[in-house]
Amino acid sequence: MDQKYAFLEKVGKEPSNLIKGLQAVQGAEGYVSDESIAAISEYFGIPAVEVEGVLSFYAQFKRVKPGKYKIAICDGTACHIKGSTQVGEWLSRELGIKSGETDARGHFSLETVACLGCCSLAPVMSVNGRVYGKLDRKSIVKILKEYENK
Amino acid sequence: MSQEKIRKIRVGVASCGVAAGADAVLELLRSRAESIPVEGTGCLGHCYAEPMVEVLLDNGDSIFYRNVKAENGYIDNILSLGEKDRFEVPPARKAKELIKVLALAGRIDPTRFEDYTENGGYEGLKRALSMTPADVVNEVKLSGLRGRGGGGFPTGTKWSFLAAKDAPEKILICNADEGDPGAFMDRSLMESVPHQVLEGMLIAAYATGATKLFIYCRAEYPMAICHLKIAINQIYEHKLNVINGRELEIIIKEGAGAFVCGEETALIASLEGQRGTPRFRPPFPTDSGWKGYPSMINNVETFGNVPLILREGAAAFAAIGTEGSKGTKLFALAGDLKNPGLVEVPMGTTLREIVFDIGGADPDKVKAVQTGGPSGGCIPVELFDTPVDYDSLKKLGAIMGSGGMIVIGKDRCMVETARYFLDFTHRESCGKCTFCRVGTTRMFETLERIVAGKGEMADLEFLEDIGPKIRMGSLCGLGQTAPNPVLATLRYYRHEYEAHVKDHQCEALQCSALVDMYLDKTNCIKCKLCVKTCPVGAISDDLVIDNEKCTRCNACKDVCPKKTIHRVKKGSIQ
């Protein structure tokens, strides 16, 4: 196996740990590449097609390299009621990318998630896991500016 | 103000507190408070007041401060016990709430073992271990506790199924895959009092003879996972996991973002590292579950109730609630109301009390409440005197579900709300059952047409016809309940559907395809902020909105200092 994926050794070899293995890869690289699927397939002794079958089932796994700053728009019920559709539109417009895309320089990527569990602060989004609440257009522009030059 | 001495300061740093900026407050307080200990604690449930700081005085009193900012002015006020920004639980809420399960949430440091044991923690386990396993199962049966994940199956009965099995391995699983958008009860409980959930699991392990313990938690809850991991290590250290002479392993498995994995058999498939598709029952998991071993799944909140039952006795627990639903229930209250947050009330409390008294919603502005997430239904404000328990809500075409409760204001469109839920369920359908896979997609497409003003009356009949068929033709709870939001809104808000179809009108002025933007020049001060703000250049220099260009994004409406821009019915501008 490629030395690059040596960290998989920390995950038990039983096939029931496949999801854990995929999470380890995504944690290290930010997404699951074709190359890493091959490594996982070899490590667990599971055909690559089955690995792909499992990972495509779960929303968490990304097959495209995300940006340096991963923006997740919460579209849970409370956020939806409080206007998350517009939050998404504003972000798309500011960044010039749609949900599920990464910008050309690999700085920002945008995705829509089901619920971040901070419903009382709706509408919310997160940037690399840090949650921002009670969003409006002004605060979004401000937050993006903060990350723009980081 | 007499100068009482400060003993300790606590800052609520659960996920929602942090989102509101509590971590910065904690840091600043630590650097400013000198010798006074400052600790992070969990969630008190008053999300609208976050970040919250509690100052504990030498005389045993506490002073709470609300909406604290990480600025010296705020910190000075707190350290001098100033009168500004003090927080008291609203009296109406205090009167209706009954805090049992959340008693320690926000009052201890969730990462400190002693904080839990000094407050009655693990006494339930101790008492359980002094009884026979059969007596523990019986105690839970007598308490009347029912599954808090939404199903409402009697917990003690479920335990007796697993206890009766004779197998080399018996598996106990805590379902922490809180997938309902709009629900955060389990997150709060795990973040704030992780040991309480684990104590419940250990008691269950003793009662049922389980040998392996799993917690299947959403990966979206990093803090919950972190606190659970710390707590599990403390349990190992104190050997609390040695039960019946066996050292039990407690394993956290992170979910990977699939709503359907909240369903028992799908969750087990996911635990085995496979696609999370449900399978036919029987065999039930208690007969054949994880890798074929007898397995039992309980929800986080269910386990969170167990230590109380063992500590205080089944009778005390059963004294709270209604005939068929015992104890208290946690609700995650959010949406169009003043005081969103996490609340705990006795079963049988009415929706009116929860939404208006506790949530502080404006009775003139509320249209409905959505319970049970995408599997639930909307209950109109006219029916708010319904007591909240498993059976009453079912009669109204909704379910209690796990406890998400979203208040929907009068300015929200019910057709759009139904469309939103079907958008969610049709994407989350695992695809195994045709009725769910295709049926929810057709429902979603039909609703998309209706909100775009392109629906026909036959579409409404179609929705009413296909709904029950999806219910019947699906294996698991996701498919069986997916039509609920549509059928419930059709039942109570049919006129809104008809207005969309017949008159191309969205009563709530929410559906953008049926709305124009209008600038009323009467009060306009010609500041032209709207012109500058409009992202698509749809507002001309003489302040007329070009509705062909406009995307209905509301940016101009929000920025206008005089509130001159309105959403109006499409085509109504002369």
pLDDT in tens, A108-135: 999 998 888 777 788 999 999 888 989 9
Q: Which of residues 12-41 of A touch B (CB under 8 A)?
A: 14-20, 22-23
Say yes or no for a CB contact (<8 Å) between B334 and A19. no
Q: Are residues B174 and B42 in the same domain?
A: no
Q: Are residues B372 and B426 in the same domain?
A: no
Handedness of CA B55, B60, B61, B62 (dihedral sign): positive
φ, ψ of residue B214 in degrees (nearest 5) = -115, 145
Domain with A112 in it: what CATH number? 3.40.30.10
Cα dihedral A72, A78, A80, A82 in deg (nearest 10): -110
Q: What is the DSSP string of B60-92?
A: S-EEEE-S--SSHHHHHHHHTT-STTEE---HH
Domain with B443 in it: what CATH number? 1.20.1440.230
Domain presence at residue B97: no
pLDDT at A114: 81
List the single best residue of B173, B184, B261, B355 to mutate versus A (max A Cβ within 10 A).
B184
For residue B555, give both structure tokens: 């940016």
Query: Rounded to an integer, what distance in angstroms lies between the CA atom of residue B186 and that of residue B15?
Result: 12
How many C-beta neighbours within 10 Å does residue A36 have?
23
The interface predicted TM-score (ipTM) is 0.87
In a structure prediction context, what are the per-residue pLDDT tens digits for chain A, which is 150 residues long? 678 899 999 999 999 999 999 999 999 999 999 999 999 999 999 999 999 999 999 998 999 899 999 999 999 888 888 889 989 998 998 999 999 999 999 999 999 988 887 777 889 999 998 889 899 888 999 999 999 988
pLDDT at B1: 46
Domain presence at residue A64: no
Query: Rounded to an integer, what distance in angstroms lies between the CA atom of residue B227 and that of residue B192?
Result: 8
Helices B484-492 & B414-428 angle (0-180, nearest 10): 170
Domain presence at residue A78: yes
**Do B432 and B403 form a contact (C-beta atoms < 8 A)?**
no
Looking at the complex, report in whole angstroms how far the Cα of residue A115 sits from the nearest Cα belonging to chain B.
Answer: 5
Q: Are residues A53 and A73 in the same domain?
A: no
Domain presence at residue A105: yes
**Do B422 and B168 form a contact (C-beta atoms < 8 A)?**
no
Domain presence at residue B508: no
Say yes or no for a CB contact (<8 Å) between A132 and B19. yes
**Residue-number span of the structural domain to which B273 is assigned:** 113-317
Domain presence at residue A12: yes
List the single best residue of B50, B218, B220, B342 to mutate versus A (max A Cβ within 10 A).
B220
**Residue-number span of the structural domain to which A35 is assigned:** 3-57
Q: Are residues A96 and A142 in the same domain?
A: yes
In chain B, pLDDT over 90 holds for what percent of residues?
A: 85
Query: Quick check: A143 contacting B, CB < 8 Å?
Result: no
Residues from chain A that touch B333, judged by Cβ atoms under 8 A, are 120
Domain presence at residue A23: yes
> CA B364 from chain center: how many Å?
25
Q: Are residues B404 and B464 in the same domain?
A: no
Short-list B375, B426, B428, B365, CA closest to B398: B375
Give the number of domains in chain B: 5
Is the peptide bond prior to A66 cis by the omega test (within 30 degrees of 0)?
no
**Do B192 and B341 form a contact (C-beta atoms < 8 A)?**
no
**Do B285 and B297 form a contact (C-beta atoms < 8 A)?**
yes
pLDDT in tens, B97-140: 999 999 999 999 999 999 999 999 999 999 999 999 999 999 99
φ, ψ of residue B527 in degrees (nearest 5) = -75, -20
Looking at the complex, report in whole angstroms how far the Cα of residue A6 sits from the nearest Cα belonging to chain B.
Answer: 20
Q: Are residues B419 and B402 in the same domain?
A: no
**Do B227 and B194 form a contact (C-beta atoms < 8 A)?**
yes
Domain presence at residue B483: yes
pLDDT in tens, B186-233: 999 999 999 999 999 999 999 999 999 999 998 888 899 999 999 999
| B19, B258, B408 member nearest A81 (Cβ) | B408
pLDDT in tens, B300-321: 999 999 999 999 999 999 999 9
Query: Rounded to an integer, what distance in angstroms lies between the CA atom of residue B323 and that of residue B171?
Result: 32
As beta bridge partners, residue A108 has: A69
Domain with B126 in it: what CATH number? 3.40.50.11540
SS3 B512: helix
Q: How many CA atoms lie within 13 A of B37 on its CB side?
A: 9
Residues from chain A that touch B67, judged by Cβ atoms under 8 A, are none
B402's CB contacts (< 8 A; 6+ apart) are: B148, B149, B150, B178, B180, B183, B185, B186, B299, B301, B372, B373
Say yes or no for a CB contact (<8 Å) between A81 and B335. yes
pLDDT at B3: 62
Q: Are residues A95 and A141 in the same domain?
A: yes
Short-list B97, B122, B106, B253, CA closest to B193: B106
For residue B372, give both structure tokens: 């049970």
Looking at the complex, report in whole angstroms how far the Cα of residue A133 sits from the nearest Cα belonging to chain B.
Answer: 6
Q: Which amino acid is at B508?
A: A
Say yes or no for a CB contact (<8 Å) between B181 and A78. yes
A53: closest chain B residue by CA: B275
Handedness of CA A24, A27, A33, A36 (dihedral sign): negative
Among A33, A57, A81, which residue terminates a domain?
A57
For residue B59, give both structure tokens: 């005389």
Say yes or no for a CB contact (<8 Å) between A89 and B553. yes
**Do A143 and A127 form a contact (C-beta atoms < 8 A)?**
yes
Is the peptide bond prior to B340 cis by the omega test (within 30 degrees of 0)?
no
pLDDT at A144: 95
| B406, B551, B559 member nearest A77 (Cβ) | B406
pLDDT in tens, B249-261: 999 999 988 999 9
Using the structure block, give the residue that is written with the tokens 């909307």. B378
DSSP B507: T
Short-list A59, A56, A60, A145, CA closest to A108: A145
Q: Are residues B294 and B372 in the same domain?
A: no
Query: Rounded to an integer, what distance in angstroms lies between the CA atom of residue B171 and that of residue B291?
Result: 10
Q: Are residues B287 and B146 in the same domain?
A: yes
Query: Rounded to an integer, what distance in angstroms lies between the CA atom of residue B161 and that of residue B289?
Result: 13
> CA B145 from chain center: how many Å?
20
Q: Are residues A141 and A74 in the same domain?
A: yes
Say yes or no for a CB contact (<8 Å) between A120 and B340. yes
**Do B539 and B531 form a contact (C-beta atoms < 8 A)?**
yes
Query: ∠ CA B275-B277-B283 to the nearest 5 degrees?
Result: 125
Query: Rounded to an integer, what distance in angstroms lies between the CA atom of residue B217 and that of residue B286?
Result: 20
Looking at the complex, report in whole angstroms how far the Cα of residue A83 sits from the nearest Cα belonging to chain B.
Answer: 10
Domain with B388 in it: what CATH number? 3.10.20.600
Query: Rounded to an integer, what distance in angstroms lies between the CA atom of residue B184 and that of residue B412?
Result: 23
Q: Are residues A47 and A80 in the same domain?
A: no
Q: Are residues B460 and B552 in the same domain?
A: no
Domain presence at residue B378: yes
Give the number of domains in chain A: 2
Query: Rounded to an integer, what distance in angstroms lies between the CA atom of residue A11 and that of residue A14?
Result: 9
Domain presence at residue A63: no
Among B379, B409, B439, which residue terminates a domain?
B409
Domain presence at residue B444: yes
Q: Are residues B69 and B168 in the same domain?
A: no
Q: Are residues B197 and B117 in the same domain?
A: yes
Domain presence at residue A46: yes
Q: Are residues A35 and A82 in the same domain?
A: no
Q: Are residues B151 and B292 in the same domain?
A: yes
Q: Are residues A78 and A8 in the same domain?
A: no
Using the structure block, give the residue that is written with the tokens 């944690």. A27
Q: Are residues A74 and A95 in the same domain?
A: yes
Q: Are residues A49 and A81 in the same domain?
A: no
For residue A68, give both structure tokens: 């340096």
Domain presence at residue B94: no
Q: Are residues B157 and B293 in the same domain?
A: yes
Q: Are residues A48 and A21 in the same domain?
A: yes
Q: Are residues B400 and B422 in the same domain?
A: no
Q: Are residues A144 and A76 in the same domain?
A: yes
pTM exceeding 0.90: yes
Domain presence at residue B38: yes
Domain presence at residue B104: no
Q: Burial of B394 by CB count in 10 Å (0-12 exposed, 13-18 middle, 19+ buried)? A: middle
Q: Are residues A144 and A73 in the same domain?
A: yes
- H/E segment holding residue B265: helix B264-271
